[in-house]
Structure 1
Amino acid sequence: MGLIVDTLGHLLENEAAYGEKIQAGLRFLRDTDFAGQAAGRHEVDENMFYFINEYETKDAGECFWEAHRVNLDLHYILEGTERIGYAAIEQLAVKEEYSAEKDAVFFTGALESAVTAGPGALVVCYPQDGHMTGIEAGRKEAVRKVVLKIKL
């Protein structure tokens, strides 16, 4: 599989097309009220945790590429709009080797492809998907989103 870009509603309508863990993640996002939850890490169970991220978008030159090996990323936009860059990790150069503690490897590379994600959008990043988040979509904007991490 590769990067998936859609809305939570559409993905839920077709959830049978996805594995059991992603289906559980989609239902979790649907059933959880994130309003009023503090920014930072929140535990769900042994297979899932999430971050509430709040930031202002910026120029792509100030953002960074990353990918993960242990967890899938489900980026669910609550407020604001951002662009999320994507590239196969083979197209990027390793900047910082994999850290098991962070479950991340960081890359450098040109931004050639990006999607625009606004409220309700969901972007699923697999281990082979290098992704760059927080890119401004025409102007700087405050973004609040959930990044649900699902253990593979």
Structure 2
Amino acid sequence: MIVDTLGHLLENEAAYGEEIQRGLQFLRDTDFAGLAAGRHDVNEEMFYFINEYETKDAGDCFWEAHRINLDLHYILEGTERIGYSAIEQLKVRDEYSAEKDAVFFTGELVSAVTAGPGALVVCYPQDGHMTGIEAGKKEAVRKVVLKIKL
């Protein structure tokens, strides 16, 4: 998992693989204002969701990981905590679904980062992540989740 801001990651984009570089450039060059929540296709290698939700207690959130797509969570509005755990430390709740490119887990929340506007969290296939956790209070969040095929 990588946690930083879009600006900082762009300053050092040569340090990352081609997939992440393309994703960073796409996030930099796209105006997400006014776009509806839901799925938006970019090309055969990338698509994204505009997600809008209210944060909640960690006990009401869930762990997930992906095998085919890299996730770039880019916060547009609001603040949330995003939990992290290596998938080996979690217990499979729902087996991998190729249709959703997701496996769901249960496990204790031990580590989380707080992400506000401009923050970017990159989740690799080995990164179990739990999103939408309140950071001190319930708050509306609007973010982009860019999916990049590995």
Please report the TM-score for the alignment, with normalisation by the length of structure 2: 1.00
Equivalent residues in 2 for 1:16-95, closer than 5 Å: 16-95=14-93
Tell me the matched-pair count. 150
Deviation at 1:140, TM superposition (A): 0.1
**TM-score under structure 1 length normalisation:** 0.98
Q: Output the amino acid matched with 1:146.
A: V
| C-alpha displacement of 1:40 | 0.2
Gaps of 5+ in 1: none
**What SS does structure 1 have at the residue aligned with 2:7?**
helix
**C-alpha distance in 1, partners of 2:42/2:24?**
13
Structure-1 separation of matches of 2:3 and 2:20: 14
Letter of the structure 2 residue corresponding to residue 140 of structure 1: K
1:117 to 115, 127, 131: 115
Q: Provide the secondary structure at the position in 2 that maps to 1:61.
A: helix
Amino acid at match of 2:141: V
Tell me how large the CA RMSD over aligned residues is.
0.2
Q: Which runs of 4+ in 1 moved over 4 A?
A: none
Q: Percent of pairs identical after alignment?
A: 89
